[in-house]
Every structure is written in structure tokens, then in C-alpha cells.
Chains A and B, each alone.
Chain A
Amino acid sequence: MSKTSKHTAMLGLPYYAWAIVFIIVPLFMVVYYGLTDKTGAFTLDNVMAIAHPAHAKALWTSLVLSLESTAVCLLLAYPLCLVLARSGKSSNSFLVLFLIVPMWMNFLLRTYAWQSILEKTGIINTALAALHLPPQHLINTKGGIILGMVYDFLPFMILPIYNALAKIDRNVIHAAHDLGADDLQTFLRVILPLSMPGVISGITMVFIPGMTTFVISALLGGGKILLIGNVIEQEFTLAYDWNMGSGLSLVLLVFIVINIVIQMLTDKDGEGVL
């Protein structure tokens, strides 16, 4: 066994090497830029710049919008996956695929299409007008940004949750029923805990990109709401201040640390299975 396990451990080497060259080294460049000024001298100013009112507000807005989008994604995806995974038809995994395929249309084109749907003269408001209902203000608001994020990231929530749910052995559920558990108890004590790894993957994959998005706020938020992603992107492209941009990016690393902690907390039992 020990020889096998050594071999198994070596399987990770290509990725570790990859991660060192293409993740860690560039990350250190970000750290270096973030902790120095234009002359190359050490400074904490770029990181502390997050306290600047405009930056702090942008970070807070990003956090709130990203959390809200993650919550909406979870609320939409979980019941959907439950329906698809538990009905037991094998064709349902196709349905899941069909939910991913829209992402093969270019992101920018899809977002423009949402403008056509949400605008004052868009499809929804035209339909409302035909029904003599008052027009709704759907675009250039925070709601518009959340909708954009949900649309864009929903597949990232659906896939892992569906996978986790589809994997649950029917017999486990039958056993729970046989032991007298009702549907709600079965769900809370059996299905939900078993699907948690998928849920956590999903939350990570929605929340984290949501924190740094900037195109969505420009196209569906009317450019009126400043997100931390906008600030960082513009530090690089407009102000051309890589030190400040890197410093603010470092602040976002806090969220990676939080994520590591969550994974450690939820991984108590996982001592490895091979």
C-alpha cells in the first residue's frame, strides 16, 4: 500500500509544478506590486487604499451583490437539481447539459441580449404595455446587475449540486423511509448533508467570480454603480497604476482565506479515501 500511495501522491506533481509557475509566481508579482510604490520602495498604502470611501463602498456593494446573487443562484438551482436528479430519468443529465450550452454564446453578446429584454423599450416592458400594466424599471439598477450575475453564474451552481444529488444512492433514501423518516426529515438529515460538498463548490464558483465582475455592472447597471472589480480593472487600464490595482487585489485575497477556512471546517472527516 505504501508504495501505491507514494505513486498516488506523485500524480499531483504536474499540477503543483503548474500552480507554482502559473499561479504562485504571478501571485508573487501581484504581491510585489501591491506592496511597493512606483519607485519600488515598500509601502502599505496600496492595500490601505481600500479604506478610501469610494473603494470601501465599492467593496461593500460588490460583497452584497455577490452574496445576493449567490443566494438567488442557490435558491433557483437546488430545487431544480432536486427535481432533475431525483426523478431518476437518465435523460435528465441531458437537461442539465442544455442548461450549460447557452454559455457557449459569447458573454458580451448574451449581455447585450439582456439589454434588449430589460430596457424601457425592451421585450418585457413592451409586453407589460400590451397588457396595460405599468412599465418596470429593470435595467441600470442593482437588480439588473444581480440578474446578470445570476444568469451568468447559475450553471456553476447547477452542475456541482446536480452531480452531488445524482450520486446519492436511492437505497439510502429508502432506508431512511423504512426507518420511519418522513420526506422532510429525509431531506434534512440525508439528502441535504450528502449534497453539501456540491453546494459548497457551487457557492465558491458563484460567489468568487461575482466579487470581481465588472462588465456586468457596466452593461446592465448603466455604469452608475461602482464595484470593486471596476475599480481594480480601471486602476490597471485607465490610471495605469499597477501598484494600486495589485494592492486592492490583495485585499480580495481575504476572501480566499475565508474560503480555505470554510473548506477546512467542512472537511473534518475527509482524511482522503484512496
Chain B
Amino acid sequence: MKYRNIMTIRKLTSLALTGVLLTGSALTLGGCSQKSDDNANVLYVYNWGEYIGEDVVEKFEEETGITVIYDEFETNEVMFPKIDADPSEYDVICPSDYMIAKMIENDLLRPLDWDKMPNATAYTGKTYLEQAESFDPGNVYSVPYTWGTVGILYNTEEVDEEIDSWSVLWDEKYYDEILMQDSVRDIFAVALKYLGYSLNTTDLAELEEARDLLIRQKPLVQAYVVDEVRDKMIAGEAKIGVIYSGEAEYTREENEAMAYVIPKEGTNVWIDAWVITRDTHHYENALKWIDFMCRPDIALENFEYIYYSTPNIGAMELMDEEELENETLFPDLDNYDNLEAFDYLGEEAEAMYFELWKELKSAD
């Protein structure tokens, strides 16, 4: 009996493994990729997952003859240490505002040659370039790719009032119905803006006030989540959530009862932008890539796939009225006077934020 048991496991393991091995090797002929040498006509691109139109890479390769090695990252924070360790691993990257500032400060980026990017020069909206100066003074290192706001998403079938202020997040009648963003800067931005402070403050007293406010809010919060606000709101898990505008638009397509507002106290305007790494081996190709992204038809294609607001005025001209009038995607920024982009605050301030955040997360 014992013997048979052993035989069984051995046989089935080997059979199962053989099966998998066969499928694996059949699929794998020529599977592992090798890095080509520096002179080859290639480009290493590092972008957010699902953050580009489906055929755009292919079009770029066809038109320029450049081979693109395209990788994706999940957060700015997991991207940074890789680039910090080896600033030649990728040529062109698409980080967010504060991360670009951090990379500039750590000398990881190479200035852009705007003369070689006619599309970027012609079609990148002035407003957005001005916004981008908060993290990249003089627009030396980055070309905005997408942008948006952070605001409140709520289900109008469940919430009777018209929401226009962050204060609703502290309203006890929404106990266990509130979703917050699970990231240090986003969470503190909400509290700081509600208190009327800058979301780039490094004043300890202001930050402690924000922390106490957030600890007071914690029992009301259903969950601090990163990417599930979207799905949980659609499923009806919660009535109110703090969310990025692009995602808010997505939930509205699934459920029309969703409403998105930018609170009157102001909020964060975020920008994701293309940058080139310091030790790039393919600088010219990287410039071509960025410029290609700024060509109106390509910018439009990207916009229609990822559905985050584009800073490309050429693409906007190609859109229909309805899309442009969408308040969620293209709010008139002039109507708000307290919008801010995140800036990199330096190591000391980051440590301070992190410390206060741990105290929030550790509170009961």
C-alpha cells in the first residue's frame, strides 16, 4: 500500500511536470530576450501598465525603423530604485510629477532638446507646461503626457446631498461608506487641503494637525485602497471615494449614477510626463519617441485608449464637442484657484510624512 502511494505521487508529479515542460518548451522557442548592443537602433521604454494606445508602439516602429523594448511598471516607487541603481537600463520613462522632481534632484535625468521635438513644441498646451514648472522649472526635463485631478466620487443614488467639499469625508453618517487612497501624499493632500494648507507643506505643526484629522476619520473609513476605489464604487461597496479623475470617468461609463467633483477647498493636479534617463544610450531615439507621442493623431489615439486627460491641444482639436465638454476629464482649471501639483519635498520632509503616516496607519 505504502509503495503504491509513493509510486502514484512520483508518477503524477513527473507526468504533470512533463506536461508543463512540453507546453513550456513548445512556447519558448526564442523566448528569452537579450539586450542588444548600444549602437543598435533600439529604444528602451518604461511606462505605466496599459498606458498607451494599442497600436502606437507598432506604428512608431514602422515609421522610424526603431525597435522598441517596452516594459511596464506598477508604481513610481518601484520604478525609482531600478533607475537609481542603473540610469541606463531604460531610455525613456513616464513618471509622475513629484517623482520627476525627485529624479531631477538625484541627477537621474538628461535635459531635453526641444528643438528636435517640433510636435512637442507646437502642441503641448501652455497651461500644462506652466503647471509642470512646479516640479520641473523651465520645462527642462519633461514633456507632459497625461494629467488629471483628484476629487470625490459619489453615488448619486445613495447620497442625497450635493457634495462640494472635503468635509463630507468626516461626516459620521457615512460610517463605513468612505474609501480613501492608500498612499502617503494623496492621503495627506486631502486633509491639508481641507484645513486650507498647501499640499506641499513641510510645516510639522500643519502636518500633525492633518494627521490628527485623519486619525479622527479612520473609524469612518471602510478601507484605504490603492486601485480598487474604481471597482468597489461600481459594485456599490461604498458611497463616497477619493479618486483620480481618469478613473472617475471610467466608473461613470459603468454606472451613470456616479458623480465626480473637485472640492471647493482645492486639490491636487497631477501630471505624468515623459523624461529621458541620464545615461541613455539612445538619446536621439528617445527624443523621437517623445515627439511621436505629441503628434496630434497619436495623442488622440492614446487618449481614446487610456481615457486620461491629454495636455495635447492638437489632439483636443480632433475631439468631438461632447468629449471636450466633459467636466471630469477637462475641467476649466481657471475656475479653481487652489489647485496644486505635488512637488518633491526632499528626504527629510519625506521621512516626516512617512513617520506621521505610520502613526495614522497604526492608530486604532
Mark A residues whose CB is within 8 Å of B.
53-55, 57-58, 88, 90-91, 93-94, 97, 112, 115-116, 119-121, 139-140, 166-167, 169-170, 218-219, 222-226, 230-231, 234, 236-241
**Least distance between A90 CB and chain B CB atoms (Å):** 5
Instruction: Select A93's contact among B8, B223, B362, beta carbons within 8 Å.
Output: B8
Decide yes or no: A119 and B5 within 8 Å by CB, A224-B221, A237-B78, A239-B354 being known contacts. no
Closest chain B CB from A186 CB (angstroms)? 17
Asked if A120 meets B2 with Cβ closer than 8 Å, knowing A223-B224, A226-B361, A237-B77, the reply is no
* Nearest CB on B from A246, distance (A): 14
Tell me which of B58-66, B229-237, B267-275, B318-326 binds A: B229-237
Q: List 13 A-B contacts (CB under 8 A).
A: A54-B361, A88-B1, A91-B8, A93-B9, A115-B228, A116-B235, A121-B236, A140-B223, A222-B223, A225-B361, A226-B362, A236-B81, A237-B78
Number of B interface residues, CB 8 Å? Answer: 35
Against A, the Cβ 8 Å flags (1 = close, 0 = not) of B217-256 are: 0100111111010001001110000000000000000000
**Which chain B residues in 320-364 approach chain A with CB under 8 Å?**
347, 350-351, 354, 358-359, 361-362
B2 touches A170 (CB 8 A): yes
Q: Return the contact of A224 from the options B1, B347, B361 (Cβ within 8 A).
A: B361
Q: Is the CB of B224 within 8 A of A224?
A: yes
B residues apposed to A, CB below 8 Å: 1-2, 4-5, 8-9, 12, 16, 75, 77-78, 80-81, 182, 184, 218, 221-226, 228, 232, 235-237, 347, 350-351, 354, 358-359, 361-362
- Nearest B residue to A222 via CB reads B223
Task: Tell whether, in the assembled complex, residue A140 and residue B222 are in contact, meaning their CB atoms are under 8 Å apart.
Answer: yes
Other contacts beyond A93-B8, A93-B12: 16, CB < 8 A: A53-B362, A93-B9, A97-B12, A97-B16, A120-B237, A166-B2, A218-B225, A222-B221, A223-B225, A223-B361, A224-B224, A230-B361, A236-B81, A237-B75, A240-B80, A241-B351
Query: Which chain B residues lie closer than 8 Å to A223 at the CB level?
Result: 182, 223-225, 361
**Residues of chain B lying within 8 A (CB to CB) of residue A236:** 81
| Chain A residues, Cβ within 8 Å of B223 | 139-140, 222-224
The answer to whether A222 touches B222 (Cβ under 8 A) is yes
Question: Main SS of chain B's interface residues?
Answer: helix
Taken together as a complex, chains A and B put the C-alpha atoms of A112 and B226 apart, in Å, by 13
Residues of A within 8 A of B81 (CB): 236-237, 240
In the complex, what residues of B have CB within 8 A of residue A140's CB? 222-223
Chain A residues near B9 (CB, 8 Å)? 93
Cβ contact of A90, chosen from B8, B182, B184, B228, cutoff 8 A: B8
**Contacts A230-B361, A237-B77, A238-B354: A90 and B5 contacting too (C-beta < 8 A)?**
yes
Does A54 contact B358, Cβ atoms closer than 8 Å? Answer: yes
B350 and A169 contacting across the interface, CB-CB below 8 Å? no
Give chain B residues whose Cβ lies under 8 Å from the Cβ of A120: 237
Q: How far is the CB of A171 from chain B (nearest CB, A)?
A: 9
- Alpha-carbon separation in the docked complex, A14 to B16 (Å): 27
Contact A238-B184, Cβ < 8 Å, known A119-B237, A120-B237, A121-B235: yes
How far apart sit A93 and B228, CA to CA, in the bound complex (Å)?
A: 38
In the complex, which residues of chain B have a beta carbon less than 8 angstroms from the beta carbon of A230?
361
Whether A166 lies near B361 (C-beta < 8 A) is: no
Expressed in whole angstroms, the minimum distance between the Cβ of B184 and any Cβ of chain A is: 6
Q: Which residue of B is nearest A234, CB measured?
A: B354
Tell me the bound Cα distance from A140 to B232 in angstroms: 13
Question: Are A167 and B2 in touch, CB under 8 angstroms?
Answer: yes
A218–B226 CB distance below 8 A: yes
